[in-house]
Amino acid sequence: MDDRMFRTAMGKFATGVTVIASEVEGQVHGMTANAFMSVSLDPKLVLISIDKKAKMNEVIHKANKFTVNILSGEQQEMSMIFAGQIKENKHVEFETFEGLPVIENSLVSLACSVYQSHEAGDHTLYVGEVLNLNVKDGEPLAFYEGKYMQMT
């Protein structure tokens, strides 16, 4: 199998869409990611996977904290901004939750501290201990075969 076939196969797995955010030296950084999962209930742990070359990898390594913002079906533009799919400069106002940046109106915002990190191929896996969370009602933004979808 080649890289393209592998990516196509992985695209057959429908996921939600998140924006990972963190702050270093007063500068907030965000990145769209769909490589996110819950790991444990006791303690409450989640996992994110970040490309080693991504700026966010360095930011989380320095900050030792991050947020996971699970996007609603109405937040596709927010996902596109942090995925670099919208090229014009769009200013995003972050709210603060537990001293960390979060995306307003996300279905869920998780404030996490890094519990463990693991090198895995060309990515770093960050296991985050959930310090606190916010939950709102709504429908999620989904991603399947390289396209955004809304659950209805």
pLDDT tens sequence across 93-131: 899 999 999 999 999 999 999 999 999 999 999 999 999
For the entire predicted model, the pTM comes to 0.94
Place of tokens 């090198």: 119
pLDDT in tens, 7-31: 999 999 999 999 999 999 999 999 9
90: which DSSP letter? Answer: -
Domain 3-150 is classified in which CATH homologous superfamily? Electron Transport, Fmn-binding Protein; Chain A (2.30.110.10)
Residues 6+ apart with CB under 8 A from 11: 144, 145, 146
In the chain, where are the structural domains located?
3-150
**How far, in Å, CA of 145 to CA of 41, rounded?**
30
